[in-house]
Structure 1
Amino acid sequence: MQNTRLNNLFESIARSLGQWFLNPWRRLSLLIICFLFGFFLGTAIATIAGQRGTIDIMIAGLLVGLTEIASRIFYSRSFMARQALWVESINLLKVGFIYSMFVEAFKLGS
């Protein structure tokens, strides 16, 4: 990439955020927020898809595909690459989403 002011700005922001999330408490709080957002996302998608009722099978296939892609990203990397913040965030988002789907299934009694 060219060395433009916008590129330098994005690089400095990414570098400072990376330094900011080296603190274990900030990292843990971000991971908890990702888990809870995954739980919220699962509840919202189940509610919206349940109200629509016409494309349940396509949405279910899409969601299974997305969770499998997230699992492939997380489990295909070495242990050190798994500790990257974005990889852990995606994995906990997936875990919260799957947990929410199980809770919704228990609510429906199926």
Structure 2
Amino acid sequence: MFFNINILSLMLGFFFANILSTIPAQTGEWNIMSGAVIVTFNELLNKVVYKKSNIDKVVIISLINNIKIGIIYGLFVDAFKLGS
């Protein structure tokens, strides 16, 4: 069961990456702003995930980390789509 939830959270992050990369880029003016928001969100999640006092909340932190990994993976896939 835990493996299924991890895969779902990874795909949820991939879906969020598609939303974050397509909706603000419609005008072409929000690319820098959306990139800054994504990097800030990623760094805040890193602060939460790798804090030492959160040892007892392993499942929730693992899900948040999988969503973060999915977002990064989705942005790489979009970058490869634009490069080809």
What TM-score does the superposition give when structure 1 sets the normalisation length?
Answer: 0.68
How many angstroms apart in 2 are the aligned matches of 1:45 and 1:82?
31
Deviation at residue 66 of structure 1 after TM alignment: 0.3
How far apart are the structure 1 equivalents of 2:56 and 2:41? 18
Aligned residue number for residue 15 of structure 1 = none
Structure 1's consecutive aligned runs of 4 or more residues displaced over 4 angstroms after TM superposition are: none
Report percent identity of matched pairs. 33
The one of 84, 89, 92 aligned to 2:66: 92
Query: Could you tell which deviates more after superposition, 86-95 or 45-54?
Result: 45-54
Amino acid at match of 2:80: F
Aligned length: 84
Distance 1:77 1:37, change over 3 A: same
Show structure 1 runs of 5+ residues with no match: 1-25
Q: How far, CA to CA, are the matches of 2:45 and 2:37 in structure 1? A: 12
Task: Report 1:12-27 matches (<5 A).
Answer: 26-27=1-2
CA RMSD of aligned residues (A): 1.9
Equivalent runs, 1:13-92 vs 2, <5 Å: 26-77=1-52, 81=55, 84-92=58-66
Task: State the TM-score, normalized to the length of structure 2.
Answer: 0.87
- CA distance in 1 between partners of 2:17 and 2:56 (Å): 24
2-side partners of 1:28 and 1:64: how far apart? 27
Go from structure 1 to structure 2 and tell me whether the alpha carbon gap of 1:82 and 1:42 turns closer, same or farther (over 3 Å shift): farther
CA shift at 1:82, angstroms? 7.1
Moved more, 34-43 or 52-61: 52-61
Bigger relative contact order, structure 1 or 2, given CA contacts below 8 A and separation 6+? 2
Query: Deviation of residue 76 (structure 1)?
Result: 2.1
